């Protein structure tokens, strides 16, 4: 009987040492560092109970196979990113003498915390600054409080070109902007010595330039247009930020307008309906910064006399014939009066007697008193002289004016 009990006792001893596989947790999955931030080197380790040897180790994320190793129980995941988040687990062959069996660990949730949010680029005072003003670009973000000791570096870019390499300053100043500074801007942020790099959304900067003085061009046939013909007005501002609103005027009265969303030239086409369509045309260009008016262009119609903006000479034209007629009437009246006066001659009582020596006394004399002192008295005399007589020159003395006349007395001044 004793020999038959030997094998039974041996199997009983083996069973005492075999663990209860279904109830014992043999594998653990660890992730470090903990907590995990973006840029940290993430490492996974599949570890057996009491450092039990493992083989044929497999790693999983969110239930999907990730990696296999015959003996290595550690998996390096590289720099952690937000996409590294997930539920991880592992499985392997547990070597427990005298047998081995496959075990799977429980899942471990790996949370990768954001080191800093994606930056936002702003333009101060506005992403649509006026030409010549100062614009400041600000790249804004903030470190996680648990990693506040880190130092962030900023860089600025435009249309695929680097404006400023990585540095500690989160702002970029652009003085005296012009239209060439318009474009797409963005910034990038990275921790010093780290592997995380984040880019801001693109920001469009549109520098607003004032419009230049537009040029107006009139297009019609080789000769002046007539009623029924078509006339085209072209207006163009060589520079200025769009959109540009063009307005057309006839003698300061608006006749049409068009918008140019991308700038450039706009036109107005119209038929000539009457002589009222003739006159001075101009156009005006306006954008968000300024407004400018073109030089006026005159449109004349065939067979009509169209005056431009009235001037002083234009107003005199209708009155010129009337003025000439009035002058002729006045001249004729004076001529008739003078002729009748000459025919009548002087009165007999006014003929002076002949003076001794052949001289005659004055035909008439005149004394004129000017206002003021005596020096203002003026004497004048008209007399006849015979051929044999000699005229005596007038004598002047200082101060008063004296006229030496022929013998006789001057009529008293009245």
Is the peptide bond between 161 and the residue preceding it cis, with omega within 30 degrees of 0?
A: no
pTM of the model: 0.57
Task: Report residue 101's pLDDT band, with 50, 70 and 90 as the boundaries.
Answer: confident
Is 308 inside a domain boundary? Answer: no
Cα–Cα dist 182/129, whole Å: 10
Q: Do 167 and 199 have their domain in common?
A: yes
Q: Do 109 and 127 have their domain in common?
A: no
Q: pLDDT of 108-141, one tens digit each?
A: 999 999 999 999 999 999 999 999 999 999 999 9
Is 394 inside a domain boundary? Answer: no
Is 186 inside a domain boundary? Answer: yes
CATH of the domain at 199: 2.60.40.10
DSSP string of 264-328? SEEEEEEE--SGGG-EEEEEEEE-SS-EEEPPPEEE--TT-----S--HHHHHTTTHHHHHHHHH
Q: Do 142 and 124 have their domain in common?
A: yes
Q: Total domain count for the chain? A: 3
Q: pLDDT of 138-149, one tens digit each?
A: 999 999 999 999
pLDDT at residue 334, as a whole number? 77
In degrees and rounded to multiples of 5, residue 293 shows phi and psi of -115, 140
Is 363 inside a domain boundary? Answer: no
Bridge partners, 293 (sequence order): 284
Q: Do 155 and 233 have their domain in common?
A: no
**E-assigned strands of 22-71?**
27-32, 36-37, 41-48, 54-61, 64-69
Is 152 inside a domain boundary? Answer: yes
Q: Do 200 and 230 have their domain in common?
A: no
Cα–Cα dist 412/366, whole Å: 10
Q: Do 236 and 283 have their domain in common?
A: yes
Task: Report residue 326's pLDDT band, with 50, 70 and 90 as the boundaries.
Answer: confident
Is 225 inside a domain boundary? Answer: yes
Q: Nearest Cα to 207, choosing from 264, 117, 126?
A: 126
* pLDDT > 50? residue 373: no
Q: Nearest Cα to 31, choosing from 83, 85, 82?
A: 85
Residue matched to tokens 């801007």: 185
Q: Do 199 and 129 have their domain in common?
A: yes
Task: Report residue 304's pLDDT band, with 50, 70 and 90 as the boundaries.
Answer: low
Structural domain boundaries enclosing 61: 27-113
State the chain's mean pLDDT as an integer. Answer: 78
Q: Do 91 and 136 have their domain in common?
A: no
Of the residues 299, 325, 355, which one is the last residue of a structural domain? Answer: 299
Of the residues 274, 299, 324, which one is the last residue of a structural domain? Answer: 299
């Amino acid at each position: 009987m004793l020999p038959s009990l030997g094998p039974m006792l041996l199997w009983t001893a083996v069973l005492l040492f075999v663990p209860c596989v279904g109830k014992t947790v043999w594998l653990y999955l660890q992730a470090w560092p903990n907590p995990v931030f973006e840029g940290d080197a993430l490492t996974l380790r599949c570890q057996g109970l009491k450092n039990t040897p493992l083989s044929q180790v497999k790693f999983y994320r969110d239930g999907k196979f990730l990696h296999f190793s015959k003996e290595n129980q550690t998996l390096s995941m590289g720099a952690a990113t937000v996409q590294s988040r997930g539920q991880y687990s592992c499985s392997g062959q547990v070597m427990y003498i005298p047998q081995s069996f496959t075990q799977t660990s429980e899942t471990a949730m790996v949370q990768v915390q954001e080191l800093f949010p994606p930056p936002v680029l702003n333009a101060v005072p506005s992403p649509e600054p006026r030409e010549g003003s100062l614009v400041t670009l600000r790249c804004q973000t903030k470190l996680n409080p648990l990693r506040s000791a880190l130092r962030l570096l900023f860089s600025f870019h435009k249309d695929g070109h680097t404006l400023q390499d990585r540095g500690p300053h989160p702002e970029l100043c652009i003085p005296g902007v012009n239209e060439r500074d318009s474009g797409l801007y963005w910034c990038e942020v990275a921790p010093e010595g780290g592997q995380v790099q984040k880019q801001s959304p693109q920001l469009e900067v549109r520098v607003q330039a004032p419009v230049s003085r537009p040029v107006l061009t009139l297009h019609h046939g080789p000769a002046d247009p007539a009623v029924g013909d078509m006339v085209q007005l072209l207006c163009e501002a060589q520079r200025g930020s769009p959109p540009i609103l063009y307005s057309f005027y006839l003698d300061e009265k608006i006749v049409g307008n068009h918008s140019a969303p991308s700038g450039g030239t706009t036109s107005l086409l119209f038929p000539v309906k009457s002589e009222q369509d003739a006159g001075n045309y101009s156009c005006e260009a306006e954008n968000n910064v300024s407004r400018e008016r073109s030089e006026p262009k005159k449109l004349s119609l065939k067979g009509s006399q169209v005056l431009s903006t009235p001037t002083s000479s234009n107003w005199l034209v209708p009155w010129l014939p009337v003025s000439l007629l009035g002058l002729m009437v006045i001249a004729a009246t004076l001529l008739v009066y003078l002729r009748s006066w000459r025919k009548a001659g002087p009165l007999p009582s006014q003929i002076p007697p002949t003076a001794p020596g052949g001289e005659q006394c004055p035909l008439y004399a005149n004394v004129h008193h000017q206002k003021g002192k005596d020096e203002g008295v003026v004497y004048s005399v008209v007399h006849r002289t015979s051929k044999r007589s000699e005229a005596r020159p007038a004598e002047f003395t200082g101060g008063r004016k004296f006229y030496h006349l022929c013998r006789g007395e001057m009529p008293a001044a009245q």
